[in-house]
């Protein structure tokens, strides 16, 4: 019995030492934050705000990598395929984390099986923006224009919240609107500025600089409540008379599923602290919100909510617009 007790004590001590050693050795090299869209979008902004502070906290370089395409699937797959040691993380958003499995036939990863949540970074409204020189100045005018001529709306990719918001607006107003997908909000905003598309439901932070500069006009926000950053701007529900119109966007940090718990907990603590400090400063005027990020359960609830975005209204809107129920990999970007 004494020998068994001694062996158990040695085993437990070894396990505890191994966990502590791993926590102390992480990170041992550069940490990569993968953004599944082109530069200039809200996820990209979040990654770059986090990266410098996370590098200081971890004592290692933290670099942002943009891997656009496939409605976020290419970037997500690169993280799923990376070693599960905390050195490759995904700045995940609803499309690649919650919606793609319902949209893309032959998707090479399963978000529930292959990813685990680390921290929730931000929750933002979508900004309905139009070119400053558009012939209408509000949502009512835009809807009236769509009744007489086809309008085009940009999105950061097929299956993203901005795509859903545009299709939902089209369906609920019974107007003629055509979806134009891009590989991120950055390229979409560039084409909107060039008058190549008529409107865009952009993540609020991505469009804010152009709104402040007067090159884009913010005519509504997509959420049920107005944004504190633009309290005079109505919601789509108010401006278009569409009760229950409520579409938002969130950004979370995800790791490969097998990443050790102690590594995830350290990343969670550092990112929570960074977000908590940051939200009181530069983001306060940009409509950013932060919810409880103490546990992965917050992201799990949002991920389930993202799946429910394919609701009866959205499905009806997709059928009305002729949107395919499924997309093939390689043609979804």
Residue 104 vs residue 210, higher pLDDT: 210
Level-2 CATH architecture, domain 28-124+249-308:
3-Layer(aba) Sandwich (3.40)
What burial class does residue 201 get, using C-beta atoms within 10 Å of its C-beta: 0-12 exposed, 13-18 middle, 19+ buried?
buried
Using the predicted structure, report yes or no on whether residue 14 has a pLDDT greater than 90: no
**Which range (68-72, 226-230, 309-313) has the least confidence?**
309-313
DSSP state, residue 235: B
Q: If you average pLDDT over residues 40-59, what whole number do you get?
A: 96
Rounded Cα distance between 153 and 166, Å, is 7
Using the predicted structure, report yes or no on whether residue 284 has a pLDDT greater than 60: no
Average pLDDT along the chain: 84
**What pLDDT, on the 0 to 100 scale, is given for residue 299?**
54
**What pLDDT, on the 0 to 100 scale, is given for residue 54?**
97
Q: If you average pLDDT over residues 175-192, what whole number do you get?
A: 97
- Beta bridge partners of residue 151, listed in sequence order: 177
pLDDT category of residue 105 using cuts at 50, 70 and 90: confident
Q: β-pairing, 177-181 with 88-92?
A: unpaired
Fold classification of 125-248 is: D-Maltodextrin-Binding Protein; domain 2 (3.40.190)
**Which range (46-55, 59-68, 288-297) has the least confidence?**
288-297
**What pLDDT, on the 0 to 100 scale, is given for residue 11?**
41
Q: Is residue 109 within 8 Å of residue 72, measured between CB atoms?
A: no
**What pLDDT, on the 0 to 100 scale, is given for residue 218?**
98
| Fold match flag (28-124+249-308 vs 125-248) | yes
Rounded Cα distance between 216 and 234, Å, is 16
**What pLDDT, on the 0 to 100 scale, is given for residue 25?**
87
Using the predicted structure, report yes or no on whether residue 17 has a pLDDT greater than 60: no
Give domain limits for the chain: 28-124+249-308, 125-248
Cα angle 288, 293, 296; round to 5: 130
**What pLDDT, on the 0 to 100 scale, is given for residue 102?**
87
Rounded Cα distance between 7 and 13, Å, is 10
What burial class does residue 199 get, using C-beta atoms within 10 Å of its C-beta: 0-12 exposed, 13-18 middle, 19+ buried?
buried
Q: If you average pLDDT over residues 125-137, what whole number do you get?
A: 97
pLDDT category of residue 32 using cuts at 50, 70 and 90: very high
Q: β-pairing, 115-131 with 199-203?
A: antiparallel
135-154 pLDDT, tens digit per residue, is 999 999 999 999 999 999 99
285-308 pLDDT, tens digit per residue, is 344 444 433 344 555 555 555 445
Rounded Cα distance between 126 and 183, Å, is 17
pTM: 0.81
Q: If you average pLDDT over residues 104-127, what whole number do you get?
A: 94
Using the predicted structure, report yes or no on whether residue 173 has a pLDDT greater than 90: yes
Rounded Cα distance between 188 and 259, Å, is 34
Using the predicted structure, report yes or no on whether residue 312 has a pLDDT greater than 90: no
- Beta bridge partners of residue 155, listed in sequence order: 181
Residue 44 vs residue 4, higher pLDDT: 44
**What pLDDT, on the 0 to 100 scale, is given for residue 258?**
97
Q: If you average pLDDT over residues 236-255, what whole number do you get?
A: 96
């Amino acid at each position: 019995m004494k020998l068994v007790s001694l062996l158990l004590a040695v085993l437990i001590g070894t396990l505890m030492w191994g966990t502590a050693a791993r926590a102390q050795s992480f990170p041992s090299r550069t940490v990569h934050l993968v953004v599944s869209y082109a530069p200039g979008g809200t996820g990209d902004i979040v990654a770059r705000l986090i990266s410098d502070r996370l590098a200081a906290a971890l004592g290692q370089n933290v670099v942002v990598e943009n891997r656009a395409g496939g409605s976020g699937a290419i970037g997500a797959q690169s993280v799923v395929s990376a070693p599960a040691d905390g050195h490759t993380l995904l700045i995940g958003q609803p499309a690649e984390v919650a919606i793609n499995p319902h949209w893309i036939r032959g998707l090479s990863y399963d978000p529930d099986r292959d990813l685990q949540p680390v921290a929730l970074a931000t929750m933002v409204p979508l900004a309905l923006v139009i070119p400053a020189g558009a012939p209408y100045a509000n949502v009512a005018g835009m809807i009236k224009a769509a009744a007489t001529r086809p309008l085009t709306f940009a999105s950061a990719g097929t299956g993203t919240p901005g795509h859903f918001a545009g299709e939902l607006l089209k369906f609920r107003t019974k107007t003629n609107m055509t979806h134009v997908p891009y590989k991120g909000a950055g390229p979409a905003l560039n084409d909107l500025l060039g008058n190549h598309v008529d409107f865009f439901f952009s993540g609020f932070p991505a469009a804010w600089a152009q709104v402040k500069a007067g090159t884009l006009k913010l005519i509504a926000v997509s959420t049920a409540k107005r944004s504190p950053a633009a309290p005079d701007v109505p919601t789509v529900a108010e401006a278009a008379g569409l009760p229950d119109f409520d579409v938002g966007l969130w950004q979370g940090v995800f790791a490969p599923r097998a990443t050790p718990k102690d590594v995830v907990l350290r990343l969670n603590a550092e990112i929570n602290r960074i977000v908590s400090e940051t939200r009181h400063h530069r983001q306060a005027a940009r409509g950013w919100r932060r919810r409880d990020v103490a546990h992965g359960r917050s992201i799990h609830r949002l991920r389930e909510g993202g799946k429910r975005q394919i609701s009866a209204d959205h499905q009806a809107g997709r059928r009305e617009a002729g949107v395919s129920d499924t997309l093939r990999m390689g043609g979804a970007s």
